[in-house]
Amino acid sequence: MERDVKQMEYLAGILRVLILNELARGTGYGYGIAKAIGEHSGGALTVRPESLYPVLHRMETEGLISAKWEQAKNGRPRKVYQLSLKGKKRWESVRESFISQCQGALRAIGVTTTPG
């Protein structure tokens, strides 16, 4: 059980970085953020709502993102997220180290990477 919790915390940490990345590109709503992560990963990553929304809520509570309700084209309300100043600073501080850590992990398991 503890192993499952640690894995969930690890994956939530990666999801936080991916959300920061998507919102650094511009505002987004939940489904759109999940879809963009999937597209930008070449289909390698699928973000499920039950993973996404708790992380978005936590990031909002921490002041990394802000949200407001807007009406979608179909008339239904949806919550639109954007990076706060604190979130922008966090993204700037974690981006390069995250890339470096991912490349190091890939090398550690025998996958060669090319800077890009």
* Alpha carbon distance 49, 38 (integer Å): 13
83 backbone dihedrals φ, ψ, rounded to 5°:
-70, 140
Domains and CATH numbers, the chain: 2-108 (1.10.10.10)
- For the chain, the C-alpha Rg in angstroms (whole number) is 15
CA end-to-end distance (rounded Å), the chain: 38
* Percent of the chain at pLDDT exceeding 90: 64
pLDDT interval class at 9 (50, 70, 90): low
For 23-32, the pLDDT digits (tens) are 999 999 999 9
The single residue listed with the structure tokens 């936590």 is 58
Q: Residue 79: enclosing H or E segment and its boundaries?
A: strand 77-83
How confident is the prediction for the chain on average, in pLDDT? 88
Cα separation, 76 vs 2, in Å, equals 40
The pLDDT tens digits of the residues spanning 71-116 come to: 989 999 999 999 999 999 999 999 999 988 888 888 999 987 665 5
Q: Angle 15-3-37 (CA atoms, 0-180°, nearest 5)?
A: 15
Please tell me the distance from the alpha carbon of residue 116 to that of residue 98, in angstroms, as a whole number.
14
pTM as predicted: 0.83
